C-alpha cells in the first residue's frame, strides 16, 4: 500500500493525472472534469439513461470495435502490401507464419460485429424515439456513419485478394455500372452524348471512378486500400467526434421529457 | 465441403469430408452445442428455484436441461442412427414446399403474429421457450450436411448471430414497450420516468463501459480463435464462382435484383433508403414516444420502420445468403446446391401482356426511317400502359391518400413534408408490389425501354 501511496504522491504521477484518486464524491466529480478521455462524459447522468435494458450499450460497443479495428488494422498494415504480387501471399503468411496468427480473424470478425452493432444501435435509437427533436441532426450523422461503416467493410473485403474478395467486389461494384445517366449501362446515359461521341463509356463512368479501371484489378486494390486505411477512417473519426459532441449538446442520453 | 473443413475443422477438431463421415465430423460441435443449451437451462432453472416463485417452471427447465444432455451424448456418438436430426422425409418436405413466395409470406405471417400477440410473446417463460425451440431446431438442422455447409461458412456465422441478437433485443424492447403502453393507458408516466434520479458517471457508467470492453474483447478473441477467417484460392478474373455473391450485408440488395434492374435495385433504391433514413426525424411529427420504449404512441412510424428493417432488409439478407445458390436459384434449407438446377423463367413485360395478349395486336413500332421524335412517340405509345400505371401510382396516389387515409397527416405535415413522406413510402412499397406482380402475373417489367436502358 505504501508503495502505491508513494507512486501516487510522486511528481511524475501528479504531472500526468491532474486529479487525486476518484475515491470520494468530490474527486469522482473532479476526475470527469479534468481527464481528457473522461471529459467526453458528463459528471452525473440519469440512472435510467445508463440502464443496460435501455441503451443496450451498442453505440459504445460500436465505438470500441472501431478502436479494435484501428489497432488491428495498423498491425495488419505492417505485414500487408496492396499489390497483385504480394497481397494474397501476405495474407497467407499472416495465417501461416506470423506470430499472433489471429490478427486477421480479429480484424475480420470485428468488422462483421461492427456492422451488426451499428444496426442494433440504430434500432435502439429508433425504438426509444431518440431521433426526435432535438436530436434529429445527430441521427442524420449516424446514418452517414452507418453508410461509412458499410463502405469500410466493403473496401476491406477486397484486400485479401482471393476469389471471395474480388467476386464480391465485382458483384457489388457492377451496380455502379447501372447508375442513371452516369453509368454506361444505366438509363439515360445516352443523353450525355456530344456530337455523336458518348461521354459515358466503360472507361469514364461511375464504376470506372470507383474501381479505377474497367475491371477489379490492381488499380482497384490500391484505390480500395487507400480508401480503407486512410480516407474513410479519417471521415469516420471526424463524424464520430461530432456525433459524440452532439450527444452531449443535445441533452445527453435520451429519456422521457 | 472442403472449404468448411479447412476453416472450421482445426478449430473444432473436426475434419469434414463429403463422404459419409459428416456426422462424425460434426459430433464434437453438436455435442458441445447441446451441452451449452443444457448449461444455459440448468442455470435458468437454478435462478428460478432460488427465487422460490416459479418452482414448477424450475423443475420443467431442469428436466429440459437433462434432455439436452441426453441429446448431447447422442450427438457425440456421431452415428447416423443416434445423432438427433430431422427425419429425412420432413427435410424433403421442407425443401419441396419452400420457395421465395412461401418464404416471404411465411416471414410476414410470423412477424404479424409476433406483433399482434406481443403481450403474450414478451412473457419471460414464453420467450425462453421460443428461444429453446429455435435453438433445438437449429441443432437438429445442423445434423443435415447441406444445411450445415451453408450456415457454418465462416462469413455466414455473423448472420446467425445477428438473427439471435435481433430476436433478443426486439424482445427486450417490446417487453418494455408493452409495460409502458399499459401504464400510459392508465395515465401513468413510462417506466423510464420513474428512475430519473442522477448518479455519478464515475463509477456507475465508467465501470459498465470497462466491463463491456472486457466482455467484447473476450468474445472477439474467442471468436477469432475458434473460427479462422475464410481464404479461398487466389483471385482469378477468369474463374467466376457460381453463385457470385456480394458481402453478406448487401445480399438484400442483391436479392432485389430478381425483381428490378440494377439501376433501381442497386443504385436508386439504396440511395432512397439512405435518404429516407436521414429524412425520418423531419417527417415524424409525432412528439410522443421520445426517450422511452413505446409502440401504441407511435404505431405508424413503428410499423413502417419494422417493415423496412425486418421485412425488406433482414429477411432478404437471410434469403440471399442461405437460400440462394448457383445461378441465384432458390434452394430449400436442406437442399444440395447443385449448379444444374433449372428454373423455368417465362416472365412477360406489361406491353406484351397489353398489346399482344389482351388486344391481340403487334407491339407499336416506329416505321422504318422514322425521325427521333416519332420513334420516341412510338416508344411512349408502346409503354403507355406501364407509364400510365406508374404515373397514377406516383402522381395521383399521394394527393388521393392526402384526402382519405392520410388526411390527418397531410393537415399536420404541410404539403412538402407530406409529399416527401408519401413518395418515400410508395417507392418503398414498389419492392413488395413488384414481388406480388411477379408471383401472380409473371410480370417482368412494367415499363421496358431497352432503347434507353430503362426497365422498371
Domain boundaries, chain B: 87-116+153-197+243-343, 350-455
Q: How far apart, in whole angstroms, are the C-alpha atoms of residue B397 and residue B419?
A: 10
Which of A37, A50, A112 is most worth mutating to test chain B (most B CB atoms within 10 A of its CB)? A112
What local confidence, expressed as pLDDT, does residue B40 receive?
96
| Side-chain half-sphere CA neighbours of B236 within 13 A | 7
Same domain (yes/no): A23, A114: no
What local confidence, expressed as pLDDT, does residue B19 receive?
45
Which of A56, A116, A188 has its CB closest to that of B162? A116
For A119-135, the pLDDT digits (tens) are 999 999 999 999 999 99
B123: distance to nearest CA of chain A, Å?
A: 16
A217: distance to nearest CA of chain B, Å?
A: 9
Range among A94-108, B288-302, B359-373 rated most confident? B288-302
- For residues B276-280, average pLDDT: 97
Q: Which residues of A touch B161 (CB under 8 A)?
A: 116
Q: Is the pLDDT of residue B122 over 80?
A: yes
For A129-187, the pLDDT digits (tens) are 999 999 999 999 999 999 999 999 999 999 999 999 999 999 999 999 999 988 888 88
Q: Which residues of A touch B265 (CB under 8 A)?
A: 175
Query: Which helix (H) or strand (E) segment is B73 a member of?
Result: helix B55-77
A231: distance to nearest CA of chain B, Å?
A: 20
Which of B173, B201, B263 has its CB closest to that of A43? B201
DSSP state, residue B366:
P
Q: Which residues of B touch A124 (CB under 8 A)?
A: 169, 173
Query: CA nearest A183: which of A210, A158, A157?
Result: A210
Q: Is the pLDDT of residue A3 over 80?
A: yes
Q: How far apart, in whole angstroms, are the C-alpha atoms of residue A190 and residue B393?
A: 27
What local confidence, expressed as pLDDT, does residue B271 receive?
96
Query: Which helix (H) or strand (E) segment is A165 a member of?
Result: helix A163-174
A/B interface, count of CB pairs below 8 Å: 272
Q: Do A50 and B223 touch (CB under 8 A)?
A: no
Q: Is A105 exposed, middle or buried (0-12, 13-18, 19+ CB in 10 A)?
A: buried
Q: Is the pLDDT of residue B11 over 80?
A: no
By C-alpha distance, the chain B residue nearest A191 is: B452
A140 phi and psi angles, rounded to 5 deg: -60, -45
Which of B190, B246, B301, B303 is most worth mutating to test chain A (most A CB atoms within 10 A of its CB)? B246
Q: Is the pLDDT of residue B7 over 80?
A: no
Q: How far apart, in whole angstroms, are the C-alpha atoms of residue B191 and residue B172?
A: 14
Q: Which residues of B touch A42 (CB under 8 A)?
A: 201
Which of A48, A163, A175 has its CB closest to that of B262? A175
* pTM of the complete model: 0.93
Q: Is the pLDDT of residue B17 over 70?
A: no
Same domain (yes/no): A132, A200: yes
Nine-digit cell string for A183: 453509368
Which of B208, B229, B449 is most worth mutating to test chain A (most A CB atoms within 10 A of its CB)? B229
Mean pLDDT of chain B: 91
Q: Is the pLDDT of residue B326 over 80?
A: yes
- Measure CA B116 to chain center: 19
CA dihedral sign of residues A242, A245, A250, A255: positive
How is B50-62 classified by DSSP, letter by letter? HHTS-HHHHHHHH
Nine-digit cell string for A227: 480508401
Q: Is the pLDDT of residue B360 over 50?
A: yes
User: Within a domain: residue A43?
Assistant: no
ipTM metric = 0.93
For B161-212, the pLDDT digits (tens) are 999 999 999 999 999 999 999 999 999 999 998 877 899 998 999 999 999 9
User: Within a domain: residue A46?
Assistant: no
Same domain (yes/no): A128, A12: no
Q: Which residues of B touch A143 (CB under 8 A)?
A: 274, 277-278
Q: Mention every residue, 6+ apart, whose C-beta is less than 8 A from residue B331.
A: B95, B323, B324, B325, B337, B341
**CATH code of residue A69:** 1.20.810.10
Query: Crossing angle for the helix pair B415-441 and B100-116, nearest 10 degrees?
Result: 130
B73: distance to nearest CA of chain A, Å?
A: 31
What local confidence, expressed as pLDDT, does residue A1 receive?
63
Quickly state the pLDDT bin for B4 (edges 50, 70, 90): very low
User: Which range of residues forms the domain containing residue A124?
Assistant: 54-249
What local confidence, expressed as pLDDT, does residue B20 receive?
62
Q: Do A171 and B246 touch (CB under 8 A)?
A: yes
Q: Do B247 and A132 touch (CB under 8 A)?
A: no
User: Within a domain: residue A44?
Assistant: no
Q: How far apart, in whole angstroms, are the C-alpha atoms of residue B349 and residue B343?
A: 18
For B391-447, the pLDDT digits (tens) are 999 999 999 999 999 999 999 999 999 999 999 999 999 999 999 999 999 999 999
Same domain (yes/no): A28, A129: no
Same domain (yes/no): A8, A61: no
Q: Do B235 and A165 touch (CB under 8 A)?
A: yes
Which of A104, A161, A187 has its CB closest to that of B229? A104
What local confidence, expressed as pLDDT, does residue A204 receive?
87
Q: Is the pLDDT of residue B266 over 50?
A: yes
What local confidence, expressed as pLDDT, does residue A191 receive?
81
Q: Do A164 and B232 touch (CB under 8 A)?
A: yes
Same domain (yes/no): A25, A89: no
User: Within a domain: residue A47?
Assistant: no
User: Within a domain: residue A256?
Assistant: no
Q: For the stretch B162-177, what's the b/e string if a residue is b when 16 or more beta carbons lie within 10 angstroms of its beta carbon?
A: bbebbeebbbbbbbbb
Bridge-partner residues for B348, per DSSP? B443
A112: distance to nearest CA of chain B, Å?
A: 7
Q: How far apart, in whole angstroms, are the C-alpha atoms of residue B364 and residue B379?
A: 8
Same domain (yes/no): A18, A138: no
Q: Do A215 and B165 touch (CB under 8 A)?
A: no
Per the CB < 8 A criterion, the answer to whether A157 and A169 are in contact is yes
- The domain tally of chain A equals 2
Quickly state the pLDDT bin for B6 (edges 50, 70, 90): very low
Query: CA nearest A174: which of B59, B66, B240?
Result: B240
DSSP state, residue B155:
G
Q: How far apart, in whole angstroms, are the C-alpha atoms of residue B270 and residue B312?
A: 12
Q: Is the pLDDT of residue B290 over 80?
A: yes
Q: Is the pLDDT of residue B13 over 70?
A: no
Same domain (yes/no): A147, A197: yes
Nine-digit cell string for B416: 412538402
What local confidence, expressed as pLDDT, does residue A101 receive?
81
For A175-223, the pLDDT digits (tens) are 999 999 888 888 888 888 888 888 888 888 999 999 999 999 999 999 9
Amino acid at each position: 500500500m505504501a508503495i502505491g501511496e508513494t507512486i501516487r504522491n510522486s511528481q511524475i504521477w501528479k504531472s500526468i493525472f491532474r486529479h487525486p484518486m476518484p475515491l470520494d464524491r468530490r474527486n469522482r466529480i473532479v476526475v470527469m472534469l479534468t481527464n481528457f478521455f473522461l471529459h467526453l462524459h458528463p459528471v452525473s447522468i440519469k440512472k435510467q439513461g445508463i440502464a443496460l435494458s435501455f441503451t443496450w450499450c451498442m453505440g459504445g460497443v460500436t465505438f470500441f470495435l472501431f478502436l479494435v479495428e484501428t489497432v488491428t488494422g495498423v498491425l495488419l498494415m505492417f505485414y500487408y502490401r496492396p499489390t497483385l504480387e504480394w497481397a494474397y501471399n501476405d495474407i497467407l503468411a499472416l495465417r501461416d507464419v506470423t506470430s499472433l496468427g489471429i490478427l486477421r480473424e480479429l480484424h475480420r470478425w470485428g468488422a462483421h460485429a461492427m456492422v451488426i452493432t451499428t444496426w442494433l444501435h440504430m434500432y435502439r435509437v429508433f425504438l426509444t424515439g431518440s431521433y426526435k427533436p432535438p436530436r434529429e441532426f445527430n441521427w442524420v450523422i449516424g446514418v452517414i456513419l452507418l453508410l461509412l461503416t458499410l463502405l469500410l467493410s466493403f473496401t476491406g473485403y477486397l484486400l485479401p485478394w482471393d476469389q471471395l474478395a474480388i467476386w464480391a467486389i465485382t458483384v457489388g461494384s457492377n451496380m455502379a455500372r447501372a447508375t442513371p445517366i452516369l453509368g454506361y449501362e444505366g438509363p439515360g446515359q445516352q443523353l450525355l452524348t456530344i456530337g455523336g461521341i458518348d461521354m459515358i463509356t466503360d472507361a469514364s463512368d461511375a464504376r470506372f471512378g470507383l474501381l479505377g479501371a474497367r475491371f477489379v484489378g490492381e488499380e482497384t486494390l490500391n484505390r480500395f486500400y487507400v480508401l480503407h486505411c486512410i480516407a474513410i477512417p479519417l471521415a469516420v473519426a471526424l463524424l464520430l467526434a461530432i456525433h459524440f459532441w452532439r450527444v452531449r449538446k443535445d441533452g445527453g442520453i435520451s429519456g422521457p421529457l | 465441403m472442403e472449404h468448411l473443413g479447412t476453416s472450421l475443422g482445426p478449430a473444432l477438431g473436426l475434419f469434414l469430408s463429403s463422404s459419409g463421415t459428416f456426422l462424425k465430423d460434426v459430433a464434437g460441435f453438436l455435442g458441445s452445442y447441446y451441452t451449452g443449451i443444457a448449461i444455459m437451462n440448468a442455470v435458468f432453472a437454478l435462478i428460478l428455484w432460488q427465487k422460490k416463485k416459479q418452482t414448477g417452471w424450475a423443475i420443467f427447465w431442469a428436466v429440459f436441461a437433462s434432455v439436452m444432455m441426453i441429446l448431447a451424448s447422442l450427438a457425440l456418438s456421431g452415428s447416423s442412427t443416434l445423432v438427433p436430426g430431422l427425419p429425412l422425409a420432413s427435410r424433403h418436405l421442407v425443401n419441396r414446399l419452400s420457395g421465395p413466395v412461401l418464404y416471404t409470406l411465411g416471414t410476414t405471417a410470423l412477424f404479424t403474429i409476433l406483433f399482434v400477440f406481443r403481450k403474450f410473446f414478451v412473457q419471460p417463460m414464453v420467450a425462453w421457450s421460443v428461444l429453446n425451440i429455435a435453438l433445438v431446431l437449429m441443432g437438429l438442422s445442423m445434423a443435415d450436411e447441406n444445411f450445415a455447409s451453408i450456415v457454418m461458412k465462416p462469413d455466414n456465422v455473423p448472420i446467425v448471430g445477428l438473427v439471435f441478437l435481433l430476436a433478443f433485443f426486439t424482445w427486450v424492447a417490446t417487453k418494455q414497450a408493452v409495460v409502458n403502453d399499459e401504464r400510459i393507458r392508465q395515465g401513468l408516466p413510462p417506466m423510464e420516468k420513474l428512475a430519473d434520479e442522477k448518479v455519478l458517471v464515475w463509477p456507475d457508467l465508467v465501470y459498465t463501459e470497462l466491463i463491456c470492453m472486457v466482455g467484447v474483447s473476450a468474445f472477439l478473441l474467442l471468436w477469432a480463435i475458434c473460427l479462422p477467417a475464410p481464404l479461398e484460392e487466389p483471385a482469378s478474373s477468369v474463374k467466376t464462382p457460381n453463385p457470385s455473391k456480394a458481402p453478406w450485408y448487401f445480399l438484400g440488395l442483391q436479392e432485389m435484383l430478381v425483381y428490378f434492374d440494377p439501376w433501381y435495385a442497386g443504385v436508386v433504391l439504396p440511395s432512397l433508403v439512405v435518404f429516407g433514413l436521414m429524412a425520418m426525424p423531419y417527417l415524424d411529427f409525432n412528439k410522443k414516444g421520445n426517450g422511452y420504449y413505446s409502440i401504441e404512441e407511435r404505431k405508424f412510424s413503428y410499423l413502417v420502420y419494422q417493415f423496412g428493417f425486418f421485412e425488406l432488409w433482414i429477411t432478404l439478407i437471410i434469403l440471399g445468403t442461405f437460400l440462394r445458390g448457383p445461378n441465384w436459384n432458390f434452394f430449400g434449407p436442406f437442399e444440395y446446391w447443385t449448379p444444374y438446377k433449372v428454373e423455368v423463367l417465362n416472365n412477360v413485360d406489361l406491353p406484351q401482356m397489353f398489346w399482344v395478349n389482351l388486344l391481340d395486336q403487334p407491339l407499336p413500332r416506329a416505321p422504318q426511317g422514322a425521325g427521333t421524335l416519332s420513334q420516341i412517340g412510338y416508344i411512349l405509345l408502346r409503354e403507355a400502359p406501364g407509364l400510365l400505371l406508374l404515373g397514377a401510382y406516383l402522381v395521383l396516389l399521394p394527393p388521393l391518400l392526402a384526402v382519405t387515409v392520410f388526411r390527418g397527416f397531410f393537415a399536420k405535415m404541410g404539403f412538402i413534408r407530406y409529399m416527401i413522406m408519401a413518395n418515400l413510402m410508395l417507392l418503398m412499397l414498389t419492392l413488395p408490389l413488384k414481388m406480388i406482380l411477379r408471383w401472380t402475373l409473371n410480370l417482368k417489367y412494367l415499363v421496358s425501354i431497352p432503347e434507353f436502358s430503362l426497365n422498371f
